Amino acid sequence: MYDQIASNKFKSVVLIIVFVLLVLLIGWVFGEAMQWGYAGLVLAFIAAFAMAWGSYWYSDRIVLSISRARPVDRDIEPYLVNTVEGLAIAAGLPVPRAYVIDDPAPNAFATGRNPENAAVAVTTGLLQAMNRQELEGVLAHELAHVRNYDTLVQTLAAVLAGSVALASEWMLRSFWWSGGRRRDSNSGQLGAIMMVVAVALAILAPFAAMLIQMAISRRREYLADASAAMLTRYPPGLASALRKIAADTNQLRVATKATESLFIANPLKAHSGGVAGLFNTHPPIQERIRVLEAM
């Protein structure tokens, strides 16, 4: 367990460095293509620093805002508050902030840079669909992510991937507005090459960011499932919850490609097999159920 925590902290540092370098590369190529000199690199450095700093300190707030999560109302959802508090105490964790997403699709996620600044969000669909044991299994799974520092890695990846996509879109729009013209119309073949490279990078950078997200081991879901089973002492509870989530046909409206990896199950319902299955952010949910039922 401690090895996993140390590994996730190391991955967080590497993740920030990789995304910052990717943004710097976008800025440098854009500056060369537009013949701005070092201005493009300087702008990219400022943007990359702001993204990395903001992602570390404010990524949880960003994700909760994107997901339209509201703080839980103890008077309306007292059982959710009591369950989170009880499981946190049993796991030896600070009690995380609890949030609710008003959406019929059953799902949940955890976020935060460390256990002291963690938050857990569940949908109203999850609260309505789950019985006590199933809800405990889902919340225990999310608390396991908090304890293992998975939330830091996942949330950083989500926010930084979205930042790279925005930087790439800004660069493409700039080319569109300028008509693809450089300041120096006599730049010749080298200028044309740089322009092609810049456009290609702007298109491919978001895809590269997505691959970096997927490079984060899917085994974190299996580990969180196992940790949840140990915490609740009842693996069938989480297995039954996953089965209900998989059978539900609603798609979570607030989920995006950047945030899908945060949820306990893929909210975009991308559970296809074969080659397409390689691009899923989660392991097959039926396999997770099988492992839990074998415990």
Q: Which region, left, alpha or beta, applies to residue 155 given φ > 0 means left and ψ of -120 to 50 means alpha?
A: alpha
Element (H, E) at 161: helix 150-178
| 120 bridge partner residues | 98, 110
CA distance 143 to 147: 6
Which one from 32, 134, 136, 142 is the annotated catalytic residue? Answer: 142
Query: Residue 293 has which token pair?
Result: 């039922």
CA distance 69 to 102: 8
Please calculate the CA angle 208-210-212 and round it to the nearest 5 degrees.
70
Query: Is 169 designated active site?
Result: no
Query: Residue 30 has which token pair?
Result: 């854009």
End-to-end CA separation in angstroms for the chain: 18
Strand, coil or helix: what is 212? Answer: helix
Spell out the residues 6+ positions from residue 45 whose beta carbon is closer than 8 angstroms to its own: 24, 27
Give how far the C-alpha of residue 40 lies from the chain's centroid of Cα atoms, to the nearest Å.
28
Q: Which region, left, alpha or beta, applies to residue 246 given φ > 0 means left and ψ of -120 to 50 means alpha?
A: alpha
Cβ pair 118, 101 in contact under 8 A: no
Looking at the annotation, which residues are catalytic?
A: 142
